[in-house]
Amino acid sequence: MDAKMTLQEMMEFLQEVFPQVKDDFVLEQMDGETVTMRLMTAERHLRPGGTVSGPSMFALADVTAYVATMAPIGREALAVTTNCAMDFMRKPAAGVDLIAKGRLLKLGRALTVTEVLIFSEGSDKPVARAGLTYSIPPRRTEDTVT
Amino acid sequence: MDAKMTLQEMMEFLQEVFPQVKDDFVLEQMDGETVTMRLMTAERHLRPGGTVSGPSMFALADVTAYVATMAPIGREALAVTTNCAMDFMRKPAAGVDLIAKGRLLKLGRALTVTEVLIFSEGSDKPVARAGLTYSIPPRRTEDTVT
Amino acid sequence: MDAKMTLQEMMEFLQEVFPQVKDDFVLEQMDGETVTMRLMTAERHLRPGGTVSGPSMFALADVTAYVATMAPIGREALAVTTNCAMDFMRKPAAGVDLIAKGRLLKLGRALTVTEVLIFSEGSDKPVARAGLTYSIPPRRTEDTVT
Amino acid sequence: MDAKMTLQEMMEFLQEVFPQVKDDFVLEQMDGETVTMRLMTAERHLRPGGTVSGPSMFALADVTAYVATMAPIGREALAVTTNCAMDFMRKPAAGVDLIAKGRLLKLGRALTVTEVLIFSEGSDKPVARAGLTYSIPPRRTEDTVT
């Protein structure tokens, strides 16, 4: 399935919907099924010792699954996360960005399921893995314009 | 089982280990099995519409499980989250703090499991539920004191 | 909320919907929010060493969440599990039944969320914990018969 | 990493460890990282309507992750599932086998993490997805024989 928005349109949309995080993430690739998202790691994402915190990795997985959900649907700001299961497998490398690779496994009328693998840039061993479910509210069918 | 640290000692410990979040959380209650933690919601935790973001709720669940794990063990800064499964069930109320109630279900030698329910203050319907596993590194056996 | 079916009606309903498992489970208690279900452990549920297998515990959690979902809704055989996250925490005791305690945390129009704790009979330390989401198909709004 | 057992050795090992399920599963492929496992669906795996039950899919994911864990380690019957998160995404097709594709994402000293996708044979849309953690008991450090 093709994406219904360009990369540029999706980035602008994210900046409206997640204004607090607009400086954290760069959407690097998107089609109707896969997404690549970069977390530009900064001091605020770190734990003592220099590794990226769990909540920062959760935020990266969540925004990646959000884009994977929106890409084939189009703007639908109200989609909400209903479930996330995440394994933290390795300590992220210090001083490098994190790269998330998302893949939309199911695009249903009411639910989507996306799997996400997160890597330290330059490594092919995943630091974390997540499966996320988004709930898509029913379309307002009366959105008729006269 | 009794807690090995006082509430005050645990708060100081959290401020060392999670310096970025020390202004977000207040540890309200702790024994060797249960924990009550408050997220003082502020602008940076919110999504458009005024509800608390998923990553902020994840952070709250994570720190709650961390305290539940540390309370019966004592200072062990290296314990790390290995798994989290979380259901987001209701929209948090706008303008109120979130209260997390954690319960340690398993205290093993290598792993702990904690369940957490998160409520908007003043409501008894949970907004989110989480199960978290922490991995506890092996004790340094040479901790002998002469 | 009250249950819309009696214990006896629910047991009969389960036997229609899950004919393969009707000899495994006994529904011991049910209201509109909580459920107690017994797995009568038999040879076919065991692993070498005499402990109950993971799939048998999954089946127990799943049927418990199904009953928690159906109790306040009424007969709705089509509800399906969409997500399960489960922690296996202790080895079940050999030679005793397992008792599952379920609690419905969310009853939405499209989704329910139930948490389940599983105990070896006679112990208060849980052997497993699960969170399950059931998807409820939209009601046929008319079902009109002419 | 290479597998430490042949396909034939692993099948024999499974039949010792999981005697109840030896007629259900066929191990079709295995190296030190990936596993392909078939569930030969039979009446006992089905729900009314002819689809494969959730517990049968859980059992398939579980045995797939067990083989992915054992392949690079060798015989270690005591490894146990500690966590499973599973999304059920589509109704399995009636009358065909299920094929699970497992991939070992982490092989740690104490824990392994495997992801599993399950397909109805002949379809490339997954019916279910799982992430499983196995706990590996410490090795007997010498096993010395005098």
- Domain spans of chain D? 7-135
B83·A87 Cβ contact <8 A: yes
Give the pLDDT band of residue B78 (cuts 50, 70, 90): confident
Q: Is A78 an interface residue toward C (CB < 8 Å)?
A: no
Q: How far is A72 from chain C (nearest CA, A)?
A: 21
Q: Is A126 an interface residue toward D (CB < 8 Å)?
A: yes
- Give the strands of the sheet with B34-39, arranged side by side: A25-30, A34-39, A98-107, A111-120, A128-135, A80-88, B80-88, B126-135, B111-120, B98-107, B34-39, B25-30
A113·D85 Cβ contact <8 A: no
Give dist(CA D46, CA A92) in Å, integer: 43
Give dist(CA B102, CA D36) in Å, integer: 39
Do the Cβ atoms of D136 and D111 come closer than 8 Å?
Answer: yes
Q: Is D110 an interface residue toward B (CB < 8 Å)?
A: yes
- DSSP label of C46: B
Q: Is C118 an interface residue toward D (CB < 8 Å)?
A: no
C135·A82 Cβ contact <8 A: no
B62·A54 Cβ contact <8 A: yes
Percent of chain B beyond pLDDT 70? 92
B126·C105 Cβ contact <8 A: yes
For the domain B7-135, what is the CATH superfamily, name and number? Hotdog Thioesterase (3.10.129.10)
C46·D20 Cβ contact <8 A: yes
Q: Which chain D residues touch C80 with a CB distance below 8 Å?
A: 88, 91
* Contacts of C129 by beta carbon, 8 Å cutoff, 6+ apart: B105, B113, B115, B131, C86, C87, C89, C115, C116, C117, C118
Q: Which chain B residues touch D135 with a CB distance below 8 Å?
A: 110-111
Taking CA–CA distances from D132, the nearest residue in chain A reads: A87
- Among A106, A115, A116, A135, the strongest candidate for a mutation testing the D interface, having the largest count of D CBs within 10 A, is A106
pLDDT of residue B108: 92
Q: How far is A108 from chain D (nearest CA, A)?
A: 9
B49 has pLDDT over 70: yes
Do the Cβ atoms of B131 and D85 come closer than 8 Å?
Answer: no
pLDDT of residue B59: 94
**Chains near D, with 3+ CB pairs < 8 A?**
A, B, C
**Regions in chain C scoring below 50 on pLDDT:** 140-146
B133·D135 Cβ contact <8 A: no
Q: Is A41 an interface residue toward C (CB < 8 Å)?
A: no
Q: What size, in residues, is chain D?
A: 146
Give dist(CA C79, CA D138) in Å, integer: 42
Q: Is D110 buried (19+), middle (13-18) or exposed (0-12) by CB count in 10 A?
A: middle
Q: Is A61 buried (19+), middle (13-18) or exposed (0-12) by CB count in 10 A?
A: buried
Do the Cβ atoms of D70 and D116 come closer than 8 Å?
Answer: no
Give dist(CA A109, CA A72) in Å, integer: 12
Q: Is A101 an interface residue toward D (CB < 8 Å)?
A: no
**Regions in chain A scoring below 70 on pLDDT:** 20, 76-77, 139-146
Q: Which chain D residues touch C17 with a CB distance below 8 Å?
A: 47-48
Q: How far is C47 from chain B (nearest CA, A)?
A: 22
Q: Which chain B residues touch C115 with a CB distance below 8 Å?
A: 115, 129
Give the pLDDT band of residue B55 (cuts 50, 70, 90): very high
The partner residue sitting opposite C20, judged by closest CB among D16, D44, D86, is D44
Q: Is C111 an interface residue toward A (CB < 8 Å)?
A: yes
Give dist(CA C24, CA C59) in Å, integer: 10
**Which alpha helices (H) appear in B18-126, and where do they start and end?**
54-70
Taking CA–CA distances from A136, the nearest residue in chain C reads: C110
The partner residue sitting opposite A110, judged by closest CB among C83, C85, C110, is C110
pLDDT of residue A140: 47
B44·A20 Cβ contact <8 A: yes
B135·D83 Cβ contact <8 A: no
Q: Is B135 an interface residue toward D (CB < 8 Å)?
A: yes
| Per-residue tokens: B113 | 């499991």
* Residue contacts between B and C (CB atoms, under 8 Å): 39
Q: Which chain D residues touch B82 with a CB distance below 8 Å?
A: 111, 133
Hey, which bits of A9-120 come out as E strands?
A: 25-30, 34-39, 80-88, 98-107, 111-120
C82·D62 Cβ contact <8 A: no
Give dist(CA A20, CA A8) in Å, integer: 18
Q: How far is A111 from chain C (nearest CA, A)?
A: 10
What phi and psi values does residue A54 have, to the nearest 5 degrees? -55, -50
Q: Is C16 an interface residue toward B (CB < 8 Å)?
A: no
Taking CA–CA distances from D112, the nearest residue in chain B reads: B82
B143 has pLDDT over 60: no
- Among C78, C80, C83, C114, the strongest candidate for a mutation testing the A interface, having the largest count of A CBs within 10 A, is C83
The partner residue sitting opposite B59, judged by closest CB among A55, A82, A88, is A55
**Regions in chain D scoring below 50 on pLDDT:** 140-146
Do the Cβ atoms of B36 and B100 come closer than 8 Å?
Answer: yes
**Chains near B, with 3+ CB pairs < 8 A?**
A, C, D
pLDDT of residue A38: 97
- pTM (predicted TM-score): 0.92
